[in-house]
Amino acid sequence: MYFTKDLLKQSKALTKKWEDQVKRLTQKNADQKERWSTVSDLEIKRLYTPEDIEHMDFERDISVPGEFPFLRGNQPTGYRGRYWTFRMFSGMGTAKETNKRWHLLLKEGQTGLSTAFDFPTLMGYDTDSPIARGECGKCGVAIDTLEDFLQLVDGIPLDQITTSMTINPPATVLWAMYCAAAELKGVPLKKIGGTIQNDMLKEFIAQKTFMCPPEPSVKLICDTIEFGTKFVPRWNTVSISGYHIREAGSTAVQELAFTLRDGIEYVESTMKQKKLDVDDFAPRLSFFFNSHIDFFEEICKMRAARRMWARIMRDRFKAKNPRSWWMRFHTQTAGCSLTAQQPYNNVVRTAVEALAAVLGGTQSLHTNSLDEVLCLPSEHAVEIALRTQQIIAEETGAANTIDPLAGSYFIESLTNTMEEKAWEYIEKIDDMGGMVSAIEKGFPQMEIADAAYNYQRQIDKGEKVMIGINKYVGDDKAPIPLVEIDEKVEEEQTKSLQAVKRKRNGKLVVESLNSLKKACREGENVMPYCIEAVKNLATVQEICDVYREVYGEYHDPGLF
């Protein structure tokens, strides 16, 4: 028990007194509204007291940082040894342009890189593919071949800087390019560090960047986990992501539950398919969460996530290495919480969300730029977003002490509630036979659709407030400059792709693609074949076409 009997008795008596007083006062002056809830519509009480957490066990449920269940953080030293990684997601136009932005960000104090690819790259198509018309360089950088990739990482010390790549269906291809680039620069694979997002389950659930059906998609992920475990030990081969689930409109609890259940699926599949011991690969699994505008809900979600993963790894998978119990995660502030109206307000929203992520103990953070709801971020807007992190780290004192909100009746109680509700979802999905099977039934997709629709209705009715949208609506005082990607980028990129195609050794390309195809058919690990193919300047699409041919294509069932 968390409190002494005497204290609980005292607390009960005082709480009763307080309740009577509240009753009296609210009869005279009614509250502004009847129901108070989080942005995810989780009802919140007016006051939390010791009784709300009386059943907690200190050692079992809370403990200290660096000890099971890691509620308070993985690192015993907190942020004192080093802050979280300031990792701004960026990519635009050509590789050359993005490389320029990266050098600027590093100069301004960013400590890790994070790559945004354009849609053709994300979906495994080349710039000159008819289906890619109009998309080149728009949402990120266009990469067709290893030549583009080498340009992207030009002047970046790959043995010192870690790079995250938001890439999913073609993750094997882009990671192969990174490995090949390291090799060409003389950096051994065991020295490079970074992350590929490589989380396909959340694509089917939320982000909708898919290529092959769920089962072969998971197989490719298991390949990368195995290859990383054996040859690239500092690489995070999956970033199990709740971010996109949340952006698609889920609640915080759904984000927590579906993300962890996706993680469970990857662990199970890797153990089964690769015959690896859980402790061989689990320490390199990483996570990625959203930090939305509801401050306390986000902090509690992150705390609950750490505790749940530790319990899953120790109890469900019998992992023995404490590092396997760690949930290490990156956080991005919520794009969907920003407004195109009165866009400067977005700086404030992002600052609050970033602070929540820090108090939730994130290892890495991207802060959105104020203009991201309108266009790709301008240099100035990115700088403000990066400075937001630096102010939180170095001015506010938020990093002074570890998990400063622990022990709060409210924080611990809400953390427990979110954990309980997330377990319910996880059990339900277990009963369905796992996440792949739940996805085939449309379960997580429809849960999210319901939540998103409910939220939009609440906004329309004014039950939930977005300043500038349904309250305090007014003209924008200062319009912001919009970054636009020149349509000429597509032309340029197509030309350079054609030039590469002309100069490369066609015979070697065909041979390496055929070997890859054979490896796919025979169930071998694709990574060595993929690296060989990119070195021979096979394109992203050529490699992905092999996957499409062997594994088939997945099409959006269009649930709503």
Partner 1 sequence: MERKIRIMVAKPGLDGHDRGARILARCFRDAGFEVIYTGCHQTPEQIASAAIQEDVDLVGLSCLSGAHKYLFPKVVELLKEQGAQDIAVIGGGIIPEQDFEQLYKAGVKEIFTPGKSLESIVEWIRNNIAVH
Binding string to partner 1 for residues 467 to 486, with x set by CB under 8 A, is what? -xxx-----------x-xx-
Smallest separation (angstroms) from partner 1 to the CB of 92? 10
Q: What single letter denotes the amino acid at residue 132? A: A
Write out the binding residues for partner 1, residues 318-347 only, by CB under 8 A: 336, 339-341
3-state secondary structure of 75: coil
Pairwise CA distance, residues 265 & 245, whole Å:
16
If one asks whether residue 133 binds partner 1 (CB under 8 A), the answer comes out as: yes
DSSP 8-state assignment for residue 58: I
Smallest separation (angstroms) from partner 1 to the CB of 115? 17
Binder among 132, 220, 381, 538 for partner 1 (CB under 8 A): 132
If one asks whether residue 460 binds partner 1 (CB under 8 A), the answer comes out as: yes
Binder among 46, 441, 457, 518 for partner 1 (CB under 8 A): 457
DSSP 8-state assignment for residue 312: I
Cβ-based neighbours of 17, under 8 Å, separated by 6 or more: none
Smallest separation (angstroms) from partner 1 to the CB of 445? 9
Which one of the spans 70-78, 96-104, 215-223, 465-473 is the region binding partner 1 (CB under 8 A)? 465-473
Pairwise CA distance, residues 207 & 200, whole Å:
9
Write out the binding residues for partner 1, residues 225-254 only, by CB under 8 A: 247-249
Pairwise CA distance, residues 551 & 216, whole Å:
6
Q: How many CB atoms lie within 10 A of CB 499?
A: 11
If one asks whether residue 123 binds partner 1 (CB under 8 A), the answer comes out as: yes
Pairwise CA distance, residues 357 & 331, whole Å:
7
Smallest separation (angstroms) from partner 1 to the CB of 520? 22
| Bridge partners for 80 per DSSP | none
Write out the binding residues for partner 1, residues 190-209 only, by CB under 8 A: 203, 207-209
Smallest separation (angstroms) from partner 1 to the CB of 159? 34
Smallest separation (angstroms) from partner 1 to the CB of 544? 13
Q: Strand order of the sheet with strand 235-236?
A: 235-236, 194-196, 163-165, 112-115, 85-90, 364-366, 329-333, 285-291, 238-241
Pairwise CA distance, residues 263 & 236, whole Å:
13
Binder among 134, 155, 186, 474 for partner 1 (CB under 8 A): 134
Smallest separation (angstroms) from partner 1 to the CB of 456? 5
Pairwise CA distance, residues 29 & 5, whole Å:
35
Q: Which residues bind partner 1 (CB under 8 A)?
A: 119-120, 122-123, 125, 130-135, 138-139, 203, 207-209, 247-249, 336, 339-341, 373-376, 449, 452-453, 456-457, 459-460, 468-470, 482, 484-485, 487, 555-560
